[in-house]
Amino acid sequence: MNQLDALKQFTTVVADTGDFKQIEAFQPTDATTNPSLILKAVQKPEYRSLLDDAVAEFRGRTLDEITDRLLVRFGCEILAIIPGRVSTEVDARLSFNTSATVARAERLIELYQAQGIHIDRVLIKVAATWEGIQAAAELEQRGIHTNLTLLFSHCQAVACGQAKVQLISPFVGRIYDWYKKSAGSAWVEADHTGANDPGVKSVTQIFNYYKKFGIATEVMGASFRNVGQITALAGCDLLTISPELLAELSGSTASLSKALDAQAALALDLPHLSYDETTFRFALNQDAMATEKLAEGIRAFCVDAGKLDQLLLAA
């Protein structure tokens, strides 16, 4: 048995790509996309027609509507391949606007439903800002399920649990990146692998907290830099993995065992936490890594959303 098949015994495997032609070989259950992945895909010749067709069919509509229709086309193509759910992201430029995020999410769902896609097969990705979490809470109450992304801190995870969101995506690799850069020449790679990786530690802490307190929100580790980070989180509810790392897992026969255990988490002595807006903002502010990576992530997605805008305008 290869490592990918072994991982599937403990964890729901999710493909992290907009390149739906790569997905089928790995037989993931779900798939996730984001602005950067869609931008990367539409610049490939084999996907350019999706962009051109969306522009031709809806020319004269607002740019944001055409963008949403393009995202839904990618999502529908992916859903034709996988048995589970696809995550489609709300424009990151709305990350601090609760009402606009809700409206954009509702439109994405309406577009999916117009294509015959059941609401339960779509997760709307929203940045885990305070405003994004409140938007997600409102959407969940309306039956629209959400995936809270750009999540780097425990306080974000706790607030998402309070909001009863469907799923969170803590970013393992970007947490690792920050700590490695911060340590500079003092960083010893061998001391920060496997369970000692700072990104792995963060996801493990969140997973254990959710299981300890019976929080139904699913935990999906994301943004991996290497296979070691993935195997150290075997047993997590879901893991979303790039095609490159999926290929590496499928090509390895190294042993893989369950690392996270929901039953074991029940016995842990953990404090129960709760946040309102004031305490959430303070806790996030006190976490330099999370503050910096959240802001950096939103900026990067905004840049790529702008680049996608330009491609649509030029088509």
Q: Considering just the CA atoms, what is the radius of gyration of the chain in Å? A: 19
Residue 30, beta-bridge partner list: 14
> What are the tens digits of pLDDT across the range 217-228?
999 999 999 999
Cβ distance 7 to 230 under 8 Å? yes
CA-based torsion, 176, 224, 51, 103: positive or negative: negative
pLDDT for residue 35 is more than 90: no
pLDDT tens by residue, 214-260: 999 999 999 999 999 999 999 999 999 999 999 999 999 999 999 99
Instruction: Say whether pLDDT at 315 is over 90.
Output: yes
Q: Tell me, what's the pLDDT at 27?
A: 95
DSSP conformation letters of the chain: --HHHHHHTTSEEEEE-S-HHHHGGG--SEEE--HHHHHHHHTSTTTHHHHHHHHHHHTTS-HHHHHHHHHHHHHHHHHTT-SS-EEEEPPGGGTT-HHHHHHHHHHHHHHHHHTT--GGGEEEEEE-SHHHHHHHHHHHHTT--EEEEEE-SHHHHHHHHHTT-SEEEEBHHHHHHHHHHHHGGG--GGGGSGGGSHHHHHHHHHHHHHHHTT---EEEEB--SSHHHHHTTTTSSEEEE-HHHHHHHHT----------HHHHTTS--------HHHHHHHHHH-HHHHHHHHHHHHHHHHHHHHHHHHHHH-
Average pLDDT value for residue range 95-101: 98
Q: Is residue 265 pLDDT above 90, yes or no?
A: yes
Torsion of Cα atoms, 168 then 174 then 178 then 180, to 10°: 130
Q: Which domain does 142 fall in, by range?
A: 3-314
* CATH code of 84's domain: 3.20.20.70
Question: What is the reported pLDDT for 210?
Answer: 98
Give the distance, in angstroms, between the CA of residue 111 and the centroid of all CA atoms in the same chain: 21
Q: Which residues are catalytic?
A: 125
Please give the pLDDT value at position 112: 98
**Predicted pLDDT at 53:** 96
Structure tokens at 297: 């992530």
The pLDDT of residue 203 is above 90: yes
- Is a pLDDT exceeding 90 seen at residue 308? yes
**Mean pLDDT value across residues 59-76:** 97
Q: How many separate domains does the chain show? A: 1
pLDDT of 29 higher than 90: yes
Q: Are the C-beta atoms of 136 and 96 separated by less than 8 Å?
A: no
181-185-189 Cα angle (round to 5)? 75
